[in-house]
Amino acid sequence: MSGAEVIPKPRGRLGAALGIGVFLAYQYGHALWRLANGSGSMDSKFSRVAIDDYRSYLIGQNLMVLIAYVLVGMAAWLLLMPLVDRVRNRWKSGWSAFGAGLVGASLLHGYFMFRLVHSRPYFTGDAAFGSWYYGVLELPPVSWRPLVNGLLFDALPWAMLLGVIFWWFSRMGNRGRLAVGSMIIALAVTGFVNERGWRAAASATATSEGQPPNVIIIGSDSLRGDRLGYAGYRPGRTDGPAAAGVSPEIDTWSESAAVFEVCRTPIGSTLESGVSVMSSTYPHTHGLRQMFASREQIEAVRDGVTPIASLLSQRGYDTAAIGDWCAGFYELTPLGFEDIDVSSFDSFQIYVSQAVVMAHFVVPLYFDNALGYHLFPQIRSFAQFVTPEVVTRRVEERIRSQASSGRPFFWSVFYSCNHLPYRAAEPYCRMFGDPDYRGPNATGVDFDIDAFIGGTDVESKWSALPEKEAKQIRALYDGCTRQFDHCFGRIIDSLEENGLLENTIVVLTADHGDDLYEPGVTLGHGLGFNGADASYHVPLAIRVPGNDGQRFDEQVRTIDLAPTLAGLLDVPIPEEWEGRSLKPWLDDPEAAADRAYYGETQFPFIHFKVPGVDRPELPPMDGLTRVAPEFNHQFVLRPEYLQPLIDAKQRCLRTRDWKLVCTPDVDGKRHFGLFHTRTDPDSLEDLAEERPEVVAPMRRALEAWIDDHAETQIDGIFPDGEPAGPER
């Protein structure tokens, strides 16, 4: 027997392989059935486009995922052979190996499902699996769960893997043991060398002496400015980990930052808002008035704006945009950044591929890792795969590398943490909700994308949501904020560990906020100016090394950020920028004064009702847009709807205490609603008829902005000061 390989008998190997193959064949067939029937009763135009125009691509994607099944089958065979061997030795039947393979694969698959539900519940929202998985995991008493989960999902896999390795190693001959042992030693040495390299990079930190300041902007899509701890927000649940609030890391950091408590975006949509922030221009200036831009519009933006990243790149800065699918607009419109490490943005092929992958659930179950990203690079564009953890690791690695280069950097790090449907990882998704909640919004908003794009009566459905469900949705949102806060804290820690923090300007902000079932609103962002405009209110806090913490309650705009950074870096401000620097406020807080806010609505996914106004009708998304194969299969607005969409937009002007909303009607006339936000923050009482002397100057200013793109500041609207509001 010396030097001979001792492995299971051929019949045992073949029987086990057949059993595993039958199980995976069933999974593949079931996935095809799910894909064919996944749209339910809703058959949107895009579903038909996928079937009619992308049939060959759809077939190709289903064939491609066979690689995943083959790899899973091979791994299962290696893991299950110890079980097969024991079964074969006890039961001599020819079917014993087949049965062991079939049952073993089922048990292994079930275990990984439990592990997925425990660690990444955001995947299960698209999987349509029963809630009994959660029920089983919640059987142990709450105090026991950390220990039980640690044993089940951390210790047990390693114990099983070591046992399987030992089993195979014990059945190898000398040559096999030598080969495997050499491979293990090589992997260990490689890991040791890499770790030493990382530590060396970390220790070789850059000196700040004589170096221009770095800048890092950290944001989360849909993060509201009023739902952070430093803004005074406290979640409903305050026990256990929730006791620290939604943003303990940010709150601590903000103590030495300049916090602008009232900052608003001119449009509540990621692409358009992102371009406005980086180029300090309004949407009507840079040209993107909705998110489904054509190739010609994108090229016009690239040629027509001066992003701050371009200015800093010319001065030797390393410029990079890092993020996940919500940061995909940087790939569509680079905005001067030299290095783009984000996911793809609104490609129909990506949506089709994601539908295939999520139907074949073996991919998210087993390939949410480096191997999976290499084999299926398109999953890096999927919201469920490029998680906040992945983004944060990329930033930390980049910081380590940057520390030894000595080159200043300007980075934008943008997360999707707070974006609908609010699917945070454990433990955040359950941190702020009712532990006894059992319902459709357990780990994410029960969101029907087909109904959303197909034009069903979404507003009525959202408005009818019971308060219990609205409360759960707000708790989910808070969990998303806490997850982003954790990522933010890790980036700050990494900057400090690598000696970069005290020469880095750190900015906290967002593209827009979200409505969360406050008075007068339901869900969504940038779709209207009902309520308190929470979806236009974003955080803005800037920490400049050496400066003390400051607080400003004066109203500012996101278009003011780029000029502020330019001022801090002694970079001349381009004449075409429409924002104004806040640096004078940092130097002299007495110079702070409210700035007029002008805003417009985004793509009309929903036309929310406005009392007394018959609004123009537009088709739903699948009627307003088309897929453009000539433009990377992007969704683009049909050209015949470009002007009607703009004409139907709501516009808003806010001073410090007054808000005027312009809503076009079906006849092309403009309806104006007036609200005093200090006494009526939720904009529930229209004072337009009572206060014509307030409406008149505000209307002139708002219409000048709409028609002539001319901005009037508050002292030009009210030369004698803002009129007082109603007495309460």
Which is more confidently placed, 499 or 622?
499
pLDDT value of position 460: 75
SS3 659: strand
SS3 268: coil
Say how far apart CA 100 and CA 16 lie, in whole Å: 7
Over residues 83-132, the pLDDT tens digits come to 888 887 777 666 788 888 899 999 999 888 888 777 776 666 544 444 56
What radius of gyration do the chain's Cα atoms show?
28
Neighbour-count burial of 5, counting CB atoms closer than 10 A to its CB (0-12 exposed, 13-18 middle, 19+ buried)? exposed
The band of 40, judged by pLDDT with boundaries at 50, 70 and 90, is very low
Which is more confidently placed, 457 or 633?
633
Instruction: Please name the residues in contact with 201: beta carbons below 8 A apart, sequence gap of 6 or more.
Output: 400, 401, 403, 404
The band of 3, judged by pLDDT with boundaries at 50, 70 and 90, is very low
Which is more confidently placed, 217 or 126?
217
Entry field: residues in the chain: 728
pLDDT value of position 181: 66
pLDDT value of position 206: 45
Average pLDDT over residues 664-670: 95
Average pLDDT over residues 686-692: 97
Query: HSE-up of 407 (CA within 13 Å, CB side)?
Result: 18
Mapping DSSP onto H, E and C, the string for 88-110 reads HHHCCCCCHHHHHHHHHHHHHHH
Over residues 565-612, the pLDDT tens digits come to 999 999 999 999 999 999 999 999 999 999 999 999 999 988 888 988
Structure tokens at 87: 């079964």
> DSSP label at 682?
T
Buried (b) or exposed (e) across 707-724, using 16+ Cβ within 10 A?
A: eeeeebebeebbeeebee
The band of 210, judged by pLDDT with boundaries at 50, 70 and 90, is low
pLDDT value of position 365: 83
pLDDT value of position 130: 46
Question: What distance, in Å, lies between the first and last C-alpha atoms of the chain?
Answer: 96
Say how far apart CA 648 and CA 621 lie, in whole Å: 15
Average pLDDT, the chain: 87
Whether the CB-CB separation of 380 and 343 falls below 8 Å is answered with yes
Average pLDDT over residues 477-503: 97
Confidence check: pLDDT of 10 > 80: no
Whether the CB-CB separation of 8 and 81 falls below 8 Å is answered with yes
Say how far apart CA 627 and CA 447 lie, in whole Å: 23
> In one letter, which amino acid is 620?
P
Say how far apart CA 681 and CA 537 lie, in whole Å: 13
Over residues 375-423, the pLDDT tens digits come to 887 776 676 677 888 899 999 999 999 988 889 999 999 999 999 999 8
Confidence check: pLDDT of 701 > 80: yes
Say how far apart CA 661 and CA 670 lie, in whole Å: 10
Of 46-60, 167-181, 313-327, highest mean pLDDT: 313-327
> DSSP label at 435?
T
pLDDT value of position 322: 95
pLDDT value of position 48: 63
Average pLDDT over residues 515-540: 95
Reported as type and span, the H/E element at residue 260 is strand 258-264
Of 113-127, 159-173, 263-277, highest mean pLDDT: 263-277
Confidence check: pLDDT of 11 > 90: no
In this predicted structure, which of 440-444, 509-513, 690-694 has the lowest mean pLDDT? 440-444
Instruction: Please name the residues in contact with 414: beta carbons below 8 A apart, sequence gap of 6 or more.
Output: 219, 220, 221, 274, 321, 322, 323, 324, 326, 327, 330, 342, 511
Average pLDDT over residues 317-330: 93
Ramachandran angles phi, psi of 237, nearest 5°: -100, 130
Confidence check: pLDDT of 188 > 70: no
Query: HSE-up of 619 (CA within 13 Å, CB side)?
Result: 14
Long-range contacts of 88-91 (CB under 8 A, 24+ apart): 88/8, 88/9, 88/12
